[in-house]
Structure 1
């Protein structure tokens, strides 16, 4: 998957992106007072190959003028029938407020649908108000069964 939105390039993660992608996620979490947990919840960012690629998922990075400004990923989930979980959808402040988050979510959903999945699950924290608003305005329904300790919301959407 490789696409552009305004002056942003969305492309597959490469091993060279490991440190920068992890730093982006750590910075956004810190900005919102959410703990960075590289040995637990965020271990998947350090071990992208094992957590995403080897599991049949994808991890994307977002570039602006050659600099990484965001991440997004998904992998198959046992939560539902033909389900995936979207994870690590984070944008630095410079990339926010431009419709990129909505576009990114739409691209994830389109790719997920093309791959034959039918349900999308997302865990998040209430403090990430923009993310909550994006998911709710994009047709995600509140559900139960939060697994990540730092999350207090979970959403599901059935795709056509």
Structure 2
């Protein structure tokens, strides 16, 4: 999978991306005063093969000039009906404000639709203000049942006319 947006290359995660991807996520969490949880909420970043590749999900990285600058992923979940959860959408500060986050979300959604899922769930933290705004302006509806300790918000989007 190769997708291009401006000067960015969105591609499938490779084994050599494990440490740089974890560093991006850890640094963005720290920027917003949130903790890195390698034994809990962030374990999936360290075990992409188990959490994404083995379950039918995908983990993407974003490169700019041969440097990783962001991540985005999804995997199937038991919550809801025929559902996935979008996870690990993180961008370094220097690449924000260029429409990349919205583009990444749209690409994840398009891929999820082609895989015939009916619902997309997202958990996030109120501290991640830009992410909350992105989800709320992209058709995600507030829901209940936060499962991750660090997160205090959960959203759902119904695909293909399901739900509402």
Give the shorter-chain TM-score range.
over 0.9
SS of structure 1 residue aligned to 2:75 = strand
Does residue 162 of structure 2 align to residue 158 of structure 1? no
Aligned partners of 1:154 and 1:7: how far apart in 2?
31
SS of structure 2 residue aligned to 1:139 = coil
> What's the CA shift string for 1:80-106, capped at 9, x where partnerless?
111000000000001100000000000
Q: CA deviation at 1:159?
A: 1.3
| Divergent runs of 4+, >3 A | none
Q: CA deviation at 1:144?
A: 0.1
SS of structure 2 residue aligned to 1:38 = coil
SS of structure 2 residue aligned to 1:16 = helix
Aligned partners of 1:65 and 1:74: how far apart in 2?
25
Aligned partners of 1:95 and 1:106: how far apart in 2?
17
Q: CA deviation at 1:138?
A: 0.1
Calculate the TM-score normalised by the size of structure 1. 0.99
> What's the CA shift string for 1:67-123, capped at 9, x where partnerless?
000000000011111100000000000110000000000000000000111100000
Calculate the TM-score normalised by the size of structure 2. 0.97
Aligned partners of 1:30 and 1:91: how far apart in 2?
13
Counterpart in 2 of 1:130?
130
